[in-house]
Structures are given as structure tokens and as C-alpha cells.
Amino acid sequence: MDKLPWIILSAGDNVAVATAAIAPGSTVAGIKTSEKIDPGHKVAIADIPLGSAVVKYGQAIGRTTADVKAGDHVHSHNLHFENDRLAATANSAPEAATDEDKARTFMGYRRADGRAATRNYIGIIASVNCSTTVCRAIADEANRTILPHYEGIDGFVPIVHDQGCGMSSTGDGMNVLHRTLAGYTRHVNFGGVLMIGLGCEVNQLTLYGQSGAGAAKRHFNIQDAGGSRRAVERAMGMLREIAADVGKEKRVPISVGEIIIGLQCGGSDGFSGITANPALGVAADLLAAAGGTAILSETSEIYGAEHLLRSRAVSDEVARKLDEKIAWWEDYVALHGASLDNNPSPGNKRGGLTTILEKSLGAVAKGGRSPLTAVYGYAERVTAPGLVFMDTPGYDPVSATGQVAGGANMIAFTTGRGSCFGCRPAPSLKLSSNSALYASMEEDMDIDCGTIATGDATISGKGREIFELIVDTASGKKTKSELFGYGDNEFVPWHLGATL
């Protein structure tokens, strides 16, 4: 039997999604299409009168702005955002994990404090924008002269940004920056860290502490070193000491229950919520069942689907914390004269997504079906196992930065339009939602999830493939992003507060 070029995602839906181009006059669910429907876009499978809810995933994604006839294309020209929610249906069970799944191990680094690392980098961290150029020069020099002597070190990574001065020393802005940088200084994938300041900035190095001489965490100011070139020279001496210790680290078997993975999606399309996101959700369920942690984030991109997460909260307190994050975002965007429905980008819409509700319903699928065990603020240290939520913006570099600061030792990133991304020191997997993207950008994509839409793979099967790749990557297999060199420029702390 020929494969159908469309899919209906839930029994209660009044739209189908094209999995391939559908010509005018084609039959979809017993009706004739009135116009061409591009892949990822929606076609009405029933008449939907003006002002009625359009239903996809069994949930409202907006209301019609005109009478829509069965067979019509449903998109921005006849559908708009309306803040509706349909009742959450009973949650289906998470992907079943076998005893073998739960007993899996990966080859990682066991740190002195007991934590498990998937990589063995040394970080060169700027406390302020003023030290970014020197940090890059230090990392370049260390990678050129020190790294060749240590096969066990993955590299020297510059962590630089545009903040640290010209801001209040108190308040949300400084609190978030400090929490983010502190998270990176203690990140498990950094076997050692050298932090560089200028000397006169608001974000003083003394806020971050320093271990004793010869330890793997050191810092100094450029002004105290006598200038930029001397700072680089001084850093080389410190890094040779750090590398002598860090280079001795060896990979050992560690339970997959110690993997903490940040879940991301960017450049989404109409297939993201059908293929890559639910497949990643299966992998997240398997990891959670083994005792690991999956961090779902991007609060502005779960808006409209938060009630589905709330229904899976393990306690009223967890549900309340999630509600508080949503309420904060509603106030935040209103303060700036915006709407959360401004979130879908032009690329999202070209790929078939129309409203934030539609985008969010697909985005939450990354979290699988496991119970929601905890809710964290941006860059807060994640300690709970299972599926957790971290409050972050939807902007991918900012969101992933918060997850890594919170302890994610891996990132899994789905995309339908072709987002390119890396987030050192955490290796980043890229999952394409459609096969056309994978074929055109194979050098950036680690897994093709588009085979789910064509019927050549199942969500469960693809999810297990992702789980296997997570284990292999944690054990040292390089991702496409790592092979190209992504990760030095994607550190972007959330910028809150006034620039003074």
C-alpha cells in the first residue's frame, strides 16, 4: 500500500498535516483539497466556522479568522492566536525501559567530587567583556602549544560574553550573570578552569572563589598581570600546571543515570512536533527511567502547553512553581508591549507552524511522558533526577547556556529549518525533523528523524536510536557540531536589567 502524504495526530483533530507536498484536488481523509499544501502545513479535514478552534495534537492551536472549508489550507491567513486551552487528556505512560536499559553504562570521567563528565576540557572564562580578547588569545595559545602534549584533554575553551560591567552590582541582572558564570566554573566537563578579569569591573573575581596553588581552578586580573601580553604569558604557566593534572584523567564505566541532558529545539517546522521532538521524548523517558536527568526549558515555547506539563507534576509545589514562571513571562512580555505569540519566527511559519500554541504543543514533546519532578530558575544547579523544567527564554543560545550552567553534561537539539549550534563544554547532538533537511545539511545533523514522517521508522524506534547515540556521545564519540568546531561563540547568558 502506498504511504499517505498526510497524518492526523489525534482523533479529535480537525486538521491533518502534510508529510509531503499535496496537490490541489487530492484526497485527504476523505475530502478534496482546494489548494496546494506544502510539507509541514495543515489542511482542514472538516468545515471550521469563523471564530472556531483549530485542533491539532488534540489541543486548540488558535481560532479561525474566516470560515474555513474542508480541504482548505489552514495557516496565518485564516488562523490567529487565541489564548485557549483544552482539558489535558489522561497522560499515557512513558516509554517502557527494560532492565538492560536501566543497567547501561557509558565511558566517562569520574571527578574527585564524585560527579560524572562526558568531556575533559579546560575552560578559560572571562568575568567581563573587557577580558574576552585576552581569554581568546590564551585559549588559542594553549591549544597551539600545550594541547598537543596531552591526548586526554579535549581542548582549551574560551567562555566569553558581553556583560560584567556597566550594570548594577545587585538585582536580577547581576544575580543571573553570577549564577551562570559560577555554574560554568564548576561544570563537570571542565577538568580545570582559569578565570580572567580586567580588575576594575563590577563583576569582581573575588565573587567566584579560588582553590589553592596548583589546583585546577585559578584566576587573576589583566591589570595585575601588567597588561594583555603579560596576562597571556602568566596564563600559560598556570595552564601548564592545570593540564599536568587534568591530562591524567581516564574514562571509566559510569551509569547512564549520571547523564544530565538539556533538551532544545530551534528553527522548528511543522514536522518538529511529529518526528524529532517526540522521538527525543522517548530517549528522555529511557534516560529518566535509568535514573538520569532531562532538562526541558524555553518557557516562552511551552506557553499554551504548560497545562499538559502541570498535569504530570509530582506535587502541587512543582505545579505551582511552573505556574509562577508562566505568570512572570506574561507580565514580562506585556511590560515590553509584546505578546508570547510573537515567538514563532518567519522560518517557523514557512515550515508550517502558525501560532505559539501550535509550536509549544510540539515543543513539549521533547520531554517525553515522564512525571515532572522539579522546576528550576535560570542557571540554577539541577539536582533532581527524571524530567525537570528550567525557566529560560526560547532563544536557543541563551536557553542552552542556562542548562549547561545548571549542570547539563550533554545537549540534544532538534531542528526543522537547519539551526547550527554547539555548546562547549557540553557536546551537542543535532536531530533533523525532516529528511530533506538531513540530506541538505548532513554535515551538521547527527540523526535524521524525518523517516518517521515517511513511515520508514517509528517514534519509539527512532527514540531508541537517539538514546544509543546519547550513550555513544557521552562515551566520547564526536558530534557533527564538535567536528566542525561549534561551541566557542554560543555562550550567551540571559541579559536582564539596565545597562548603566
Give CA–CA dist 246/469, Å, rounded: 26
Give CA–CA dist 343/355, Å, rounded: 8
At 75 the three-state DSSP class reads: coil
Q: How would residue 87 be classed by pLDDT, with cut points 50, 70 and 90?
A: low
What would the mean pLDDT of 127-141 be, rounded to a whole number? 97
Q: Residues, the chain, total?
A: 500
| Cα–Cα distance list, 416 to 19, 267, 352, 355, 445 (Å) | 13, 6, 10, 16, 11
Across 339-445, the runs of DSSP E, i.e. the strands, are: 372-376, 386-390, 410-415, 428-432
Give CA–CA dist 14/471, Å, rounded: 39
Q: What is the CA radius of gyration of the chain?
A: 24
On whether the CB atoms of residues 423 and 401 are closer than 8 A, the answer is yes
Q: How would residue 256 be classed by pLDDT, with cut points 50, 70 and 90?
A: very high
pLDDT tens readout for residues 411-449:
999 999 999 999 999 999 999 999 999 999 999 999 999
Closest of 180, 127, 174, 208 to residue 493, by C-alpha: 180
pLDDT tens readout for residues 37-76:
999 999 999 999 999 999 988 888 889 999 999 999 999 9
At 12, the amino acid letter reads G
Task: Work out the number of other CB atoms within 10 angstroms of the CB of residue 230.
Answer: 12
Grid cell for residue 140: 588559542
| Cα–Cα distance list, 61 to 148, 318, 340, 363, 397 (Å) | 54, 25, 13, 13, 26
Give me the percent of the chain exceeding a pLDDT of 90. 77
pLDDT of res. 60: 85
- Which residues are CB-neighbours of 201 under 8 A, at least 6 positions away? 127, 128, 130, 164, 165
pLDDT tens readout for residues 230-241:
999 999 999 999
Query: Does the pLDDT of residue 159 top 70, yes or no?
Result: yes
pTM for this one? 0.91
Q: Which of 106-110, 169-173, 471-475 has the lowest mean pLDDT?
A: 169-173
At 313 the three-state DSSP class reads: strand
Query: Does the pLDDT of residue 462 top 90, yes or no?
Result: yes
Q: Where are the alpha helices (DSSP H) in 263-365?
A: 276-289, 306-310, 316-335, 346-350, 356-363
Give CA–CA dist 7/274, Å, rounded: 9
pLDDT of res. 109: 98
On whether the CB atoms of residues 330 and 295 are closer than 8 A, the answer is no
Mean pLDDT of the chain: 92
Q: Is the peptide bond before 385 cis (omega within 30 degrees of 0)?
A: no
pLDDT of res. 89: 58
For every residue of 13-38, DSSP letters joined together read: -SEEEESS-B-TT-EETTEE-SS-B-
